[in-house]
Chains A and B, each alone.
Chain A
Amino acid sequence: MLIRKSERRPERAKPSSAKPSSTESGIPSSGLDRRTFLKRSGVTAGALVAVGEIALHGVRKAEAGPPPPVGAPVTIRKNICTHCSVGCSVIAKVANGVWIGQEPDYDSPINRGSHCCKGAAVRDDVLNERRLRYPVKLVNGQWTRISWEKAIDEIGDKLLDIRQKSGPDSVYWLGSAKFTNEAAYLNRKLAAFWGTNNSDHQARICHSTTVTGVANTWGYGAMTNSYNDIRNAKTILLMGGNPAEAHPVSLQHILEGKELNRANMIVVDPRMTRTAAHATEYVRVRPGTHIATIYGMLWHIFENGWEDKEFLSQRVYGLDEVRKEIAKWPPKEVERVTGLPEAQVKHVAQLFATQKPATLIWAMGQTQFTTGTANVRASCLLLLATGNMGMPGAGANIFRGHTNVQGATDLGLDVTSLPLYYGLAEEAWRHWCRVWEVDYDWMKSRFPDKKLMETPGIPSTRWFDATLLPKNQISQPNPVQAMFIMGHGVNTITRMPEAVKGIEKLEMLVVCDPYPTAWSVLSERKNGTYLLPACTSFEMEGSRTNSNRSLQWGEKIVDPVFEAKNDYDTMYMLARKLGFADLMFKNIKVENGAVSAEDILREINRGGWSTGYCGQSPERLKAHMRNQHKFDLVTLRAPKDDPEVGGDYYGLPWPCWGTPEFKHPGTPILYNTNLPVKEGGGTFRARFGVERIVKRKVMENGQEVEREDHDNLLAEGSYSVGSEIKDGYPEFTLGVLKKLGWDKDLTAQEREAIARINPADPDKVSWSTDLSGGIQRVAIEHGCSPYGNAKARMIAWNLPDPVPVHREPIYTPRPDLVADYPTLPDAKQFRVPNIGFSVQKAAVDRAIAKQFPLILSSGRLVEYEGGGEETRSNKWLAELKQHMYVEINPADAAERGIVDGGWVWVTGAENSSRARMKALVTERVGKGVAWMPFHFSGWYEGNDLRAKYPAGTDPIVLGESVNTLTTYGYDPATGMQEPKATLCQIRAA
């Protein structure tokens, strides 16, 4: 019916005499060139298809985008996106030192050219005009420009002054998950040389509970498989994660895997998220009922005999005690607590246990609770009971948050450990002192005493409590008086009204960040505040460890803009001022104040035996980046015959055993006994001894008697392929090697190095303290995991709840359940009191849930990241989400007369807190639940703080922080906060 003219060709206004044919044929003059180009380049338009199935590497020229200035050569540099832990490669085009465009990196096996909106916009992270350009300090409430030298000088003097009068523990070193591995390590080293364990970063509020929970189950606290490996899964269960928004590129693997395997994809979440939209089944739960849900599933699994009996008997310890707990969760009780009907729980349980391999994916939907560690442990129980561990397509796929939160955690930006999980015991300090080539006694002298040297520091969630609480309530000489923050927001930590008081009480606040961050505007501080312009990770080189433990080396794309400095150089300047630069940088090259990142990584390699950070030399990592296209999409492995990266797994996922020369390929799947250790296989780690002595009451001749059992913690009949020991075995020491007669395989140099480590008793030198790597090498040559072969622990007797126990959130909407499921008693943890029990009891007694009837949960948006200063300043991202909002169910909104897009006041259960934002009326949240993104700041209790930013540095989008409203609640094992489940009330503004 549509009548169309046949004339469809454009008419050219100004026929170019050079191309007379263009007007004649009606084809734009430019069109000719395009087509001839296509023909010449051998790429016919018909073959042009932008899909992952077709590899286009090799033929691509990276020249599109803004044309470079005439005559300027374009160089291509590769770095890693800084916005989540997937680890997408970013290709940058640089001309005349300016980043002029991005190109998709089809070679990367992780993102295959893809990005989310953040990755596709990272160029503006660097070019951004709102970045802090030079150091400033507050002088009587005015931001005043100063030089770097003067800033470091003044800051150093003040730090030394505080150290002098209050001790080193009164300075808090808050680091960042956006550090490179090298910067994270250096930051931890700086705190150690300063003499405190008050050194933390975002992992505290992100996956501290995962690391603790998972490591206490099977040895290491990390994602066991990889994003790519999810392609092998038959059942994908997401509990407490929304990767479509938090890790969008991971959905490429999840959805393709789901499609190819016709896999079950089950999302269990309080919100119908963008991830849930693609699930085969969506289960809406009440926030804070993870353990009850898992036990509900396990109840059905054991009831129906769906458990993996062989796996349980060979590789798991402690099932009996867990079954006692499971017995407390029949379907009726599960429904009473979680609201989930029996059929649904049973169905999900059946899929997970029988449609194998099944993987369990989680993020902060499990971790950010007072029961975070127990939640994660419950997840481990489910995986172990169903035998979904240590093989492709299964495992705990724990999605970490930031670019390098895995690496920064590994490298010890943590109050409980030195780099690479060595802990804080004397042996750990001695190990690192050997690596650093400093005298142990000197190191000890940096601390007030040996006890504090070996005592975990204050978690980042409690820094303001450690500032505000009376001295006698804090287990260190004095409260915190100065914060030195590198790349960490304040608005991602709960209880902001108290943080504001904390900021005001500090003697000095130093924020080293590309942006001023909310730290700079929240308080009424007038002096003693310094903002130092850090460069972004794109302006420096170094390695990053993504969530699946792969290390990727990023090249410096452009020099730091304005007066920004990279983290290495800043820390070097500070160390010089504090007087220990020569010792701290003893084996790290510094040229004209420029620190060598490669040297830092080599130092990490020299000390990183415990976690297998020893094989990833800068040279190997760079070879991987050069040869990205050779790695398989699913297995992540390069062909064995490749001269540069033959047989390696992409990014040498830790543990990558031995020295770089040993050429271990990395471990793509942890605890996988189907591969030899030398090829990336492994066993559960023997981290908790070889046996456990338990006193049990048993019936003997009709009488109850107490018996002492020696439970075997080592694996039974399970071992990795090629292992010469066909059973469980303890971790390797020189002594163990000797018993096996394998010590003769050690070279003379290795023997000598081992003897140097412990001249008195060399037999005690272990795989993790042997600086030669010899013990690891020999164990692996005999097919054994250096760390031993043990059972995973269903019962973690060193944790507050050895077997996970459901406990209601501190501010629960179900006070009726508190009597049955109270939180743990008050106690002192991490140098500060945790009064969660009293707070919970008071909330029940005062009927808080009546005044604040809505559950408040928070989470992530795809456009923004973390505290959000950087992404809210990015002009391409900020346009997409211009307001802070609260999601509210249409029924709750209707009751309150709230319309979609209208302004509301949200009030919180503590501190008479309130926040003004827009309402987003949506069925994403169920009735009785409100949800907010946590990336906003710059408004506080209805006031716009834009004017308080240093001129020109205010982010484009400002808004209220959800953490103005969040409340008390800390996981006893890690100090994790509880922003995922609290209470609030909402009314139309």
Chain B
Amino acid sequence: MARMKFLCDADRCIDCNACVTACKNENEVPWGINRRRVVTINDGKPGERSVSMACMHCTDAPCASVCPVKCIYPTEDGIVLHNKDQCIGCGYCFYACPFGAPQYPQVGNFGSRGKMDKCTYCAGGGGPEAPGSAEEYAKYGSNRFGEGKLPMCAEMCSTKSLLAGDGDIIAQLYEERVEKRGYGSGAWGWTTAYHEDVKS
């Protein structure tokens, strides 16, 4: 069974933010909600690296584990989806997420949260809406996966830094790259997300 993952090759990432706007465009994500983001480490210094980050769709996803209403769950493809109808906006998934993925629209006073929003791997939502329906789109965004396509962020990555797809294949691609070029800063977040790492 294919296990979908993300892998950001930081030696290719140039902080161009294509993944960010591709996600916004494809899913009509509102202002203030950032399902994907690019963080630059050692900014302006030798060793500067940028990494594109979103929900990694973890193995044993901690968000799913801590969710008090169990509205987050992995699909058979390893994609972590959630049901917004059941989400109570408690914020626990944000405490648990190692990657800062869950986002909350600010509603009401004292920072109280609306329903959690996060990367869906462009695979629609985890609710009861029909796949590919307008209702599903309005709540969760696009369902590319249902049409045999991958997340828009990875598809549009300017330097093919952000890889998406079956974990074994993208790991292999990355390893081949590292072998060819002779360096690689590793698959960022993989040990935390998937309890495994790539050879580098």
Contacts and interface: CB of A to CB of B under 8 A. Distances in A.
Interface of A: 2, 4, 8-14, 16, 27-31, 33-35, 37-38, 41, 43-53, 59-61, 63-67, 101-102, 104, 112-121, 123-124, 244-245, 248-249, 251-252, 255-256, 258-260, 262, 272, 274-275, 277-278, 282, 862-863, 875-877, 879-880, 922-925
21 contacts: A10-B70, A10-B126, A13-B86, A28-B73, A30-B124, A31-B75, A38-B148, A45-B166, A59-B148, A64-B26, A65-B144, A67-B134, A67-B137, A115-B22, A117-B18, A117-B22, A248-B14, A274-B40, A274-B50, A862-B16, A876-B21
B180 A260 contact: yes
Most buried by A among B74, B163, B165, B182: B165
Nearest to A112: B160
Interface stretch (B99-107, B108-116, B151-159): B151-159
A272 B44 contact: yes
A10 B84 CA distance: 13
B122 A251 contact: no
B21 A117 contact: yes
B15 A274 contact: yes
Given A45-B2, A262-B181, A66 B28 contact: yes
Nearest to B33: A879
A923 B45 CA distance: 6
Contact of A113 (B24, B50, B125, B156): B156
The 9 tightest CB contacts between A and B, nearest first, are A924-B44, A49-B165, A10-B73, A259-B181, A64-B144, A117-B17, A45-B2, A120-B22, A248-B16
A272 B14 contact: no
Interface string B110-139: 000000000000111110111111101100
Contacts of A880: 17, 20-21
Contacts of B43: 922-924
B44 A922 contact: yes
A877 B133 CA distance: 27
Interface in B20-55: 20-22, 24-26, 28, 31-32, 40, 43-46, 48-50
Contacts of B73: 8-10, 28
B196 interface: no
Interface in B144-186: 144-152, 154-160, 162-166, 168-170, 173, 177, 180-182
B77 interface: yes
A555 to B, nearest CB: 19
B64 interface: yes
Contact of A248 (B4, B130, B132, B159): B159
A129 B165 CA distance: 36
Contacts of B15: 244-245, 274, 862
A65 B26 contact: yes
Contacts of B50: 274, 277
A66 B134 CA distance: 7
B24 A249 contact: no
Contacts of A272: 44-46, 48
Contacts of A51: 160, 163, 165, 170, 173
Contact of A43 (B129, B148, B154): B148
Contacts of A45: 2, 4, 77, 166
Interface of B: 2, 4, 11-12, 14-22, 24-26, 28, 31-32, 40, 43-46, 48-50, 60, 64-65, 70-71, 73-77, 81, 83, 85-86, 122-126, 128-134, 136-137, 142-152, 154-160, 162-166, 168-170, 173, 177, 180-182
A30 B129 contact: yes
Contacts of A863: 17
A274 B18 CA distance: 14
A41 B21 contact: no
A12 B129 CA distance: 12
B81 A28 contact: yes
A41 B146 CA distance: 10
A875 B166 CA distance: 32
Contacts of B144: 64-65
B180 to A, nearest CB: 6
A12 B122 CA distance: 21
A259 B145 CA distance: 31
Given A49-B163, A259-B181, A876 B14 contact: no
Most buried by B among A113, A114, A117, A262: A117
Contacts of B136: 30
Most buried by A among B17, B45, B49, B137: B17
B60 A52 contact: no
Given A10-B126, A13-B85, A924-B44, A116 B16 contact: yes
A61 B143 CA distance: 13
A923 B44 contact: yes
A49 B150 contact: yes
B156 A115 contact: yes
B158 to A, nearest CB: 4
B146 A29 contact: no
B128 A113 contact: no
Contacts of A13: 83, 85-86, 128
B157 to A, nearest CB: 6
Contact of A30 (B2, B86, B130): B130
Contacts of B137: 66-67
Given A116-B17, A880-B17, A30 B148 contact: no
A914 to B, nearest CB: 26
B54 to A, nearest CB: 14
A275 B48 CA distance: 10
Nearest to B128: A14
Contacts of B132: 67
A112 B18 CA distance: 14
Contacts of A43: 148
Contacts of B133: 67
A876 B27 CA distance: 11
A626 to B, nearest CB: 22
A116 B158 contact: yes
Contacts of B31: 875, 879
A119 B86 CA distance: 36
A871 to B, nearest CB: 11
Nearest to B178: A259
A259 B86 CA distance: 47
B155 to A, nearest CB: 4
A117 B16 contact: yes
Contact of B21 (A8, A112, A121, A262): A121
Contacts of B85: 13
B169 A49 contact: yes
Contacts of B164: 48-50
B98 to A, nearest CB: 13
B75 to A, nearest CB: 5
Nearest to A887: B44
B21 A877 contact: yes
Contact of B25 (A16, A102, A862): A102
A2 B46 CA distance: 37
A4 B159 CA distance: 38
B44 A49 contact: no
B147 A277 contact: no
Contacts of A14: 128
